[in-house]
């Protein structure tokens, strides 16, 4: 029996007052979609089958490089974090898996399994951390980790990644995500070629430890914490890595890790075409790695990314099963609310992309009718699919309006009474 964090009665009460309006809206949208030759129930079923993993580190308040302003009832440890993640899934029914970060979430695997079973949660990709020093570790990552000039430091970073795989194996994960902060701050500080060579060699040792049915996702990021050069800085380098590391290696696209205005949807298309798209960290940004909620700044771009994903899905692209994860940081919102909104935004982008008239789009492309091609995408994007998302949640036992239900349930006040307040302070980067 799954332990409920919110309670089915609270959710039922919440839904009751909204049910009639939702049915009317769903029916009316169904009629309009029908005129476009789209069966609304098919879209609802696909949306219901779409999930996105929640990052364990996302349920705490993040910070900037300058300051951290904690909220009330912040999770004290991984078990509190898992309870918060369970709330998100109970209300959205879109996030049945959690992505762990080691050593932040390090604990006995048996206890993780027990908590996961109790809360109805599974575990998605494991994330290693060689971008900060853990207490007591022998060698510092100040000047790098997997690409460090010192062999012992590289070996320590490899051993840490292997430890993440071991924990993941015990709890049912099937992937390891590796993001490193390695890079340089001054021209001349590091040899680009030698650093990359050392990184590739270390990663080959990590790949050797992967079980048969596992994948490794390497995550690129243009800058930060290194401000002059970064070892795994863009999708080109990431693609080279995936090629060098072989069939278990794939590229992870964190939407916030690109220069402003970069055409991310085109990167996604390229990686799909060459079978190296591993998955996503969804978030949004205006300037850099802002880690804002998915779709908060540019929902059209999120839709265009999903347009590529749906295109590949419907075409039955071989070996196409990208991992969907959120990765965001919250400074001014309740993290649970933000993650619920993001999960819904990701589903919205998926639903909207399913509405694209692909035959028409393809014909407009062939006829070089730029205007109508663009309008075909816009027609889908302009549709309000909220009734579809809400119906998918409702039928799976979730809330019609997850944020309102969360507030009605008084969960944050309840945990604030148990979890001691955390002191604020100076920032950290993630």
The verdict on whether omega for the bond into residue 103 sits within 30 degrees of 0, i.e. cis, is yes
Binding residues for ligand LRH, total number by CB under 6 A: 10
8 A C-beta contact, residue 103 and residue 354: no
Q: Output DSSP code: residue 285.
A: -
8 A C-beta contact, residue 46 and residue 309: no
Residue 182 interacts with ligand LRH (CB under 6 A)? no
Residue 179 interacts with ligand LRH (CB under 6 A)? yes
Q: Minimal distance in Å, beta carbon 18 to Mn ion?
A: 34
For residue 241, the partner it binds in ligand LRH, Mn ion, none, with Cβ less than 5 to 8 A by kind, is none
Q: Which of 217, 237, 232, 340 is nearest to 281 (CA)?
A: 217
Contacts of ligand LRH in 79-118 (CB under 6 A) = none
Q: Minimal distance in Å, beta carbon 57 to ligand LRH?
A: 6
Q: Minimal distance in Å, beta carbon 39 to Mn ion?
A: 36
Q: Minimal distance in Å, beta carbon 298 to ligand LRH?
A: 18
Q: Output DSSP code: residue 356.
A: S
Grouping H, G, I as helix, E, B as strand and the rest as coil, residue 176 is strand
Q: Minimal distance in Å, beta carbon 180 to ligand LRH?
A: 9
Residue 258 interacts with ligand LRH (CB under 6 A)? no
Residue 196 interacts with ligand LRH (CB under 6 A)? no
Q: 168 or 387, CB closer to ligand LRH?
A: 168
- Binding-site member from 84, 124, 254, 334 for ligand LRH (CB under 6 A): 254
Residue 130 interacts with ligand LRH (CB under 6 A)? no
Q: Minimal distance in Å, beta carbon 88 to ligand LRH?
A: 18
Which residue matches tokens 């029914």?
93
For residue 430, the partner it binds in Mn ion, ligand LRH, none, with Cβ less than 5 to 8 A by kind, is ligand LRH
Residue 219: partners with Cβ closer than 8 Å, 6 or more residues away: 177, 178, 179, 232, 238, 252, 254, 257, 281
* Distance (Å, whole) CA 352 – CA 378: 10
Q: Minimal distance in Å, beta carbon 430 to Mn ion?
A: 7
Q: Minimal distance in Å, beta carbon 221 to ligand LRH?
A: 6
Q: 219 or 401, CB closer to ligand LRH?
A: 219
> Residue 392 is inside which H or E element, if any?
helix 386-395
Angle at the Cα of 5 from the Cα atoms of 64 and 85, rounded to 5 degrees: 35
The verdict on whether omega for the bond into residue 225 sits within 30 degrees of 0, i.e. cis, is yes
Q: 84 or 327, CB closer to ligand LRH?
A: 327
* Distance (Å, whole) CA 31 – CA 48: 20
Residue 289 interacts with ligand LRH (CB under 6 A)? yes
Q: 153 or 230, CB closer to Mn ion?
A: 230
* Distance (Å, whole) CA 160 – CA 2: 33
- By CB under 5 A, name the binding residues for Mn ion: 254, 281, 289, 327
Residue 216 interacts with ligand LRH (CB under 6 A)? no
Residue 57 interacts with ligand LRH (CB under 6 A)? yes
Residue 221 interacts with ligand LRH (CB under 6 A)? yes
Residue 422: partners with Cβ closer than 8 Å, 6 or more residues away: 70, 74
Residue 430 interacts with ligand LRH (CB under 6 A)? yes
For residue 308, the partner it binds in ligand LRH, Mn ion, none, with Cβ less than 5 to 8 A by kind, is none
Contacts of ligand LRH in 338-377 (CB under 6 A) = none
- Binding-site member from 127, 238, 285, 307 for ligand LRH (CB under 6 A): 127
Instruction: Return the exposure string of 332-346: e unless at least 16 CB atoms fall within 10 Å of the residue's CB, then b.
Output: ebbbbbbbbbbbbbb
Q: 290 or 357, CB closer to ligand LRH?
A: 290
- Binding-site member from 81, 215, 281, 412 for ligand LRH (CB under 6 A): 281
* Distance (Å, whole) CA 423 – CA 378: 47
Q: Dihedral through CA 265, CA 271, CA 274, CA 277, nearest 10? A: -130
Q: Minimal distance in Å, beta carbon 327 to ligand LRH?
A: 5
Grouping H, G, I as helix, E, B as strand and the rest as coil, residue 255 is helix
Distance of CA 8 to the CA centre of its chain: 27
Site for ligand LRH, rule CB under 6 A: 57, 127, 179, 219, 221, 254, 281, 289, 327, 430
């Amino acid at each position: 029996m799954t332990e409920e964090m919110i309670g089915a009665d609270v959710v039922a009460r919440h839904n009751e007052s909204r049910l009639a309006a939702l049915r009317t809206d769903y029916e009316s949208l169904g009629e309009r979609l029908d005129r476009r030759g789209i069966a609304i129930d098919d879209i609802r079923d696909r949306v219901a089958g779409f999930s996105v993993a929640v990052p364990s580190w996302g349920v705490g308040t993040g910070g900037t490089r300058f300051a951290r302003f904690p909220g009330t009832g912040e999770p004290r440890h991984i078990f509190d974090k898992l309870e918060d993640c369970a709330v998100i899934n109970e209300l959205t029914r879109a996030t049945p898996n959690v992505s762990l970060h080691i050593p932040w979430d390090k604990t006995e695997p048996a206890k993780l399994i027990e908590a996961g079973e109790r809360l109805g949660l599974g575990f998605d990709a494991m994330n290693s951390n060689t971008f900060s020093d853990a207490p007591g570790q022998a060698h510092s990552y100040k000047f790098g980790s997997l690409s460090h000039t010192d062999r012992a430091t590289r070996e320590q970073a490899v051993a840490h990644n292997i430890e993440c795989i071991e924990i993941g194996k015990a709890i049912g994960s099937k992937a390891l995500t590796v993001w490193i902060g390695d890079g340089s701050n001054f021209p001349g500080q590091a040899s680009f070629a030698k650093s990359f060579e050392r990184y590739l060699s270390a990663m080959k040792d990590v790949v050797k430890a992967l079980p048969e049915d596992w994948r490794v996702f390497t995550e690129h990021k243009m800058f930060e914490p290194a401000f002059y050069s970064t070892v795994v800085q863009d999708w080109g380098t990431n693609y080279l890595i995936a090629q060098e590391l072989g069939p278990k290696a794939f590229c992870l696209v964190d939407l916030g890790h690109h220069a402003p205005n970069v055409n991310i949807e085109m990167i996604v298309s390229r990686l799909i075409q060459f079978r190296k798209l591993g998955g996503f960290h969804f978030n949004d940004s205006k300037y850099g790695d802002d880690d804002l909620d998915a779709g908060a700044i540019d929902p059209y771009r999120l839709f265009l990314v999903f347009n590529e994903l749906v295109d590949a899905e419907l075409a039955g692209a071989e070996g196409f099963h990208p991992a969907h994860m959120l990765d965001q940081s919250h400074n001014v919102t309740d993290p649970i609310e933000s993650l619920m909104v993001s999960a819904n935004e990701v589903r919205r982008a998926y639903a909207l992309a399913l509405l694209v008239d692909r035959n028409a789009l393809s014909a407009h492309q062939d006829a070089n009718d730029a205007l109508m091609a663009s309008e075909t995408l816009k027609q889908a994007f302009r549709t309000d699919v909220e009734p579809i998302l809400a119906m998918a949640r409702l039928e799976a036992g979730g809330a019609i309006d997850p944020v309102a239900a969360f507030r009605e349930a008084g969960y944050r006040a309840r945990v604030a009474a148990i979890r001691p307040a955390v002191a604020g302070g100076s920032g950290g980067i993630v």
